[in-house]
Amino acid sequence: MRVLIPSALQSYTGRPWVEAEGASVDQVLLDLDRQFPGIRFRMLDEQRRIRRHIRLFFAGEMLFDPDQPLPADGELHIVQALSGG
Amino acid sequence: MSTGNGETGQLLLLVATRKGAWIYHGDGERQSWRVDGPHFLGHIIHHLVLDPRDGRTLLAAASTGHLGPTIFRSTDFGRTWQEAARPPAFGPAINGLPARAVDHTFWLTPGHVEQPGVWYAGTSPQGLFRSEDGGTNWAPFSCINDDAQYRQWFGTVQDGTPDGPKLHSIIVDPRDAQHLYFAMSGGGVHESLDGGRTFAPLVDGMEVVEGFAVGDVTFHDPHCLRLCPSNPDRLYQQNHCGIYRLDRPGRRWQRIGRNMPAAVGDVGFPLVLHPRDDKRLWVLPMDGSDVWPRTSPGGQPAVYGSGDGGASWQRYDSGLPASQAWWTVKRQAMSGDREESVGLYFGTTSGELWHSRDEGRQWACLARHLPEVYAVETAYPT
């Protein structure tokens, strides 16, 4: 599937759109990490919780569970929620 | 990742801020400084440290307000950076204790000279980590991260600093790689004699905020712990409740801050030791009255120094603002160099960098308009 990478993480990918595979949210993130080492830990902590300012959307629906199944095709949007000064 | 245009040279100042890192390259006389930065603009850099064992490995503890924490490593003075393959991260839940996640790495300490490649890291919330490959791969270290007693001493987020509770001031005895110290805000001072396999509190004589139980390690809040380079049996400590000295093998801290002027008090964060004289140290007091403004007392910042192990103190404020300066200096944001006339350096919460070439007698502003300064370290590249 196509994955939209937020600007804060494009230092890993070098571009906003990348391809990744996986049957669940975390499997897609693991595939991203294989391609771009280190990127998953910036989004998911060591207890597999989505970090506070990371938002994930698939087909307009916000995803909260790393184990949520995903179809093979579509777009996963990873968004960085900004706050603070 | 590539930033900056670093190169080897004379003394370096490694400046970590809330919005990135800067490296100041001094000339031989410490008269002029060439600035290199920002590195990691927009990242929170908690600590930037050069490995004195090889004189070229730089580690930066980094996070942003929006992403998970990591560590970057450079061996060319910041020309290029590589991210740690495995940054500090806690393990899964064990011992029936809740699982935890590292919010940020706060403190970095190079290991013993006989253990090249070994580094220690302290995190928020409190955790102790170790790397054996120069900072590329990190693993939880010692029993403390998941020990029920230590979890109790860690307290809760409410017991820590506004930026979260921290493990800091990791110290390796230069005579013995098995002899370690660390401190926690909150959670006291701890010592290991077996290379970190076990730790035990070292808090006798330390005071706590009135109303809390002095016998409960949880309530002890050491802000900065330093071991004398010229006498590893002597430690000094700036605490939430005073300035202390400990002479080993003694176990009872002496509150030498009682000798500070009462109007200034002995509350503060940083503490710097002379590289060759174990009686000489400097602190930078802050206002710890009523609601704890954490500003310069009276808006008149000053460094205080002692040349007799804390029996008496002198005020050093020549060149510093005489009034209406309400900044302060965080626990990692003051350090000294190794020159004959020791240079002192500190960075302020208002983004200024100050230095003295004569052990505090005269101060000058080296840089203004930086982000809030979190850490200042001196380093000698080779």
Say whether A38 and B83 touch across the interface (CB within 8 A). Answer: yes
- Yes or no: say if B184 and B206 are a contact pair by the CB < 8 Å rule: no
The contacts of residue B381 (CB under 8 Å, 6+ apart) are B8, B9, B12, B50, B55, B56, B77
pLDDT of residue B210: 87
Q: Which residue of chain B comes nearest to A54, CA vs CA?
A: B66
Hey, how many other C-beta atoms are within 10 angstroms of the C-beta on B42? 13
Note whether A83 contacts B: Cβ–Cβ < 8 A.
yes
In tens digits, chain B (382 residues) has pLDDT values of: 333 333 444 899 999 999 999 999 999 899 999 999 999 999 999 999 999 999 999 999 999 877 889 999 999 999 999 999 999 999 999 989 999 999 999 999 999 999 999 999 999 999 999 999 999 999 999 889 999 999 999 987 666 677 889 999 999 999 999 999 999 999 999 999 999 999 999 999 999 998 889 999 999 999 999 999 999 999 999 999 999 999 999 999 999 999 999 999 999 999 999 999 999 999 999 998 888 888 999 999 999 999 999 999 999 999 999 999 999 999 999 999 999 999 999 999 999 999 999 999 999 999 999 999 999 999 999 8
pLDDT of residue B149: 96
Q: Which residue of chain B comes nearest to A53, CA vs CA?
A: B66
Q: What residue segments make up the domains of chain B, in order of their start?
A: 11-379
- Yes or no: say if B238 and B284 are a contact pair by the CB < 8 Å rule: no
CA distance B367 to chain A (A): 22
Among partner residues A8, A46, A54, which is closest to B89 by beta-carbon distance?
A: A46
Which residue, among B18, B43, B67, would best test binding to A if mutated, counting the most A CBs under 10 Å from its CB?
Answer: B67
Residues of chain B with Cβ-Cβ distance to A37 below 8 Å are 83, 85
Say whether A42 and B67 touch across the interface (CB within 8 A). Answer: yes
- Yes or no: say if B21 and B34 are a contact pair by the CB < 8 Å rule: no
Specify the CATH class of B11-379 in words.
mainly beta
Say whether B84 and A38 touch across the interface (CB within 8 A). Answer: yes
Q: Count of A–B CB contacts within 8 Å?
A: 55
From CA B245, how far away is CA B266, in angstroms rounded?
A: 13
pLDDT of residue B64: 80
**Which domains does chain A carry?**
2-80 (3.10.20.30)
User: DSSP strand E in A1-84: where?
Assistant: 2-4, 17-19, 54-58, 61-63, 75-80
From CA B104, how far away is CA B370, in angstroms rounded?
A: 21
Say whether B64 and A8 touch across the interface (CB within 8 A). Answer: yes
Which residue, among A13, A33, A39, A41, would best test binding to B if mutated, counting the most B CBs under 10 Å from its CB?
Answer: A41
Note whether A62 contacts B: Cβ–Cβ < 8 A.
no
Q: Please, which pLDDT band fits residue A84 given cuts at 50, 70 and 90?
A: low
Per the document, the length of chain B is 382
Say whether B67 and A47 touch across the interface (CB within 8 A). Answer: no
Among partner residues B64, B70, B101, which is closest to A49 by beta-carbon distance?
A: B101
Residue for token pair 């595939």: A31
Q: Please, which pLDDT band fits residue A24 given cuts at 50, 70 and 90?
A: very high
Say whether B65 and A83 touch across the interface (CB within 8 A). Answer: yes
Q: Which residue of chain A comes nearest to B42, CA vs CA?
A: A8
ipTM: 0.84
pLDDT of residue B158: 66
Cα end-to-end distance, chain A, whole Å: 34
pLDDT of residue B3: 34
What is residue B102's three-state secondary structure?
Answer: coil
Q: Which residue of chain A comes nearest to B137, CA vs CA?
A: A38
Average pLDDT, chain A: 93
Say whether A46 and B90 touch across the interface (CB within 8 A). Answer: yes
From CA A19, how far away is CA B308, in angstroms rounded?
A: 65
Among partner residues B83, B84, B99, which is closest to A47 by beta-carbon distance?
A: B99
